[in-house]
Amino acid sequence: MSIATLVRDGLLPEPPAVEPATTSAPSTALAFAFDAGYRLPFKVMLASLAKAGTLTDLPIFIYSTDETLLDDPFVRAASDRFFLISGALAETLEHLARERVRRPERATWNRGTFLKWAVFQPAGVDQVLFLDADMIALGAIEPLLTRAPDAHLVGGPQFPRSLARDDTGPVPSAILAERLEGLVRGTAPLPTRLNSGVMVLRRPLLEDDVRRALVDHALRVVCVNEQSHLTSFFARQPGSLALVEAAWNFHESYLKRLPQPAADRILAEVRILHYPGAQKPWLDLDRQTRRRSMALWRETAAWAGLA
């Protein structure tokens, strides 16, 4: 069910009054791929969308290998369609997670990232907006739905390590802040690799044949991670992939080296805040955090009565 319906039914609190965002986007569904370990962040992500007043009328699709998710009343109510990934497809994605990345010791982590490839199948809509569960919305996301209309996949870039380091070590915080602001605003050249945490997938990609071609490609090469496989695959199809400003998928961990005023300037322009990597805001909830960007997740969880 849509976020607006979750609010109406009392599963999420009534959000503050916000100016409603409008868009003439094609029919769109929200898509999430996760297992039971990500139930809480999924709920907080939906709460953040409600609080920001964005994407509240879209249907919600969930893709998972974990049928026990439906034992959770909130998840069951939120899901307009639940795609249970099992059998040969689940085995194939497991194999890719173990064997086709350069760090197979992270197979458990990789399993969750490859799961999102299940979204490449017919969905009954013109496009889906895939969102990782370890995110929160900070502003209206509707404009993203119509970006690069001729591209089949629209997403934000991976943040390269060279953003924060050069040949001599970590760059000064002022330089890092300038680089991050350039990525958020689109005034600096964007990195060329996709971060698959946010993806607008248009109808030509919502086909089983596309997923099979993607899997076949991944079986022939080894990449750093799942999203590098996606970048490699779509590089063979010029014009099919469009990268947009990092405001649509901002990596929170890069803020930890910035003074708070600089971090606040960047956060004011971010629409989707992403918590990639091992440091998650829902871990050690009893421990205070000094980072405003980490506190934002906890504040959203508290607003929704989830933590």
| Per-residue pLDDT tens over the stretch 180-198 | 999 999 999 898 999 999 9
Terminal Cα-to-Cα distance of the chain (whole angstroms): 23
Q: Which domain holds residue 160?
A: 3-303
Q: Report yes or no: 38 and 71 within 8 Å, Cβ to Cβ.
A: no
- The phi and psi torsions of 205 (rounded to 5 degrees) equal -90, -10
pLDDT tens-place string over residues 7-21: 999 999 998 866 666
Instruction: Report whether 301 contacts 307 (CB < 8 A).
Output: yes
> Residue 15 sits in a domain of what CATH number?
3.90.550.10
**SS3 of the chain: helix, strand, coil, percent, to 5:** 45, 15, 40
Token pair in block for residue 250 = 């901002």
pLDDT tier at 150 (50, 70, 90 boundaries)?
A: very high
**What letters, b where the CB count within 10 A reaches 16 and e where it falls short, cover 4-25?**
bbbbeeebbeebeeeeebeeeb
Q: How many domains does the chain have?
A: 1
Quick one: 96 exposed, middle or buried, by C-beta within 10 A (0-12, 13-18, 19+)?
A: buried
pTM for this predicted structure: 0.93
The band of 305, judged by pLDDT with boundaries at 50, 70 and 90, is very high
How do residues 98-133 score in pLDDT, each as one tens digit?
888 876 655 565 567 899 999 999 999 999 999 999
- Amino acid residing at 286: D
